[in-house]
Structure 1
Amino acid sequence: MPETVEQEIVRRLTEAFAPTELVVNNDSARHHGHSGDDGSGESHFSVAIESAAFAGMPRLQRQRAVNAALGDLPGQRVHALAIRARAPGEAR
């Protein structure tokens, strides 16, 4: 059975950042019928990730690092991705 998009997001982010916390939510049902809804049920996601790799990085650099780790998913198979990335000890 092939990986779901959600499973692929979890795998790629785990491999790239060894997170101490990772929550991936599939928000696609909330966007059913809206722009970017491809009917797959896997088009809109939100990610909350905590990793020591983000220590000292500004927010934009963290966002870019997450997008880079996800490769072709954003823009190809994922229409919308909300990212909250923080280092351990930072406020949630």
Structure 2
Amino acid sequence: MTATRAERIRATLERQFAPVAVQVVDESGRHVGHAGNPDGRGETHYAVTLVSSAFAGMGRLARSRAVHAALAEEFATGLHALSLRLLSPEEAQPRGGPGA
């Protein structure tokens, strides 16, 4: 059985960043006819949320560059766009609340 691009992205991110949480959503259907998905075949546009201690002390640009570097092979084979939400575990904690 061949893994889907979403499965490969998840596996790569898990291997590279040892996340405490990861979510990969194929949003290609929302981009039919756009650059990278002109014929609507999909597996081109993804939203990724990744929570990893590897991001502690890193700025947004450095985090994005690290993820893009980890997924370079996917970009070379048809991945067109990523929407990224990259957080350290501390940043992912809920803030505020009653009495805060």
Structure 1 and Structure 2 fold alike (TM over 0.5): yes
Q: Are 1:25 and 2:25 counterparts?
A: yes
CA contact (8 A) 1:74 1:81 kept: no
Deviations 1:20-57 (A, max 9, x none): 01011100000112221053310100101000000000
CA contact (8 A) 2:49 2:84 kept: yes
Instruction: Report the TM-score, using the length of structure 2 for normalisation.
Output: 0.84
Cα distance between partner residues in 1 of 2:22 and 2:69:
17
Using the TM superposition, give the Cα deviation of residue 2 of structure 1 relative to its aligned residue in structure 2, in angstroms. 1.1
The letter for the 2-side match of 1:31 is H
Q: Which runs of 5+ in 2 are unaligned?
A: 94-100
Deviations 1:2-29 (A, max 9, x none): 1110000000000001100101110000
Cα distance between partner residues in 2 of 1:91 and 1:16:
19
The letter for the 1-side match of 2:4 is T
**1:50 paired residue number:** 51
> Number of residue pairs matched?
92
Larger Rg: 1 or 2? 2
Name the SS of the counterpart of 2:77 in structure 1.
helix
CA contact (8 A) 2:51 2:92 kept: no
Moved over 3 A (4+): none
Name the SS of the counterpart of 1:90 in structure 2.
helix
Name the SS of the counterpart of 1:77 in structure 2.
coil
Cα distance between partner residues in 2 of 1:40 and 1:78:
12
CA contact (8 A) 1:26 1:46 kept: yes
Instruction: Report the TM-score, using the length of structure 1 for normalisation.
Output: 0.91
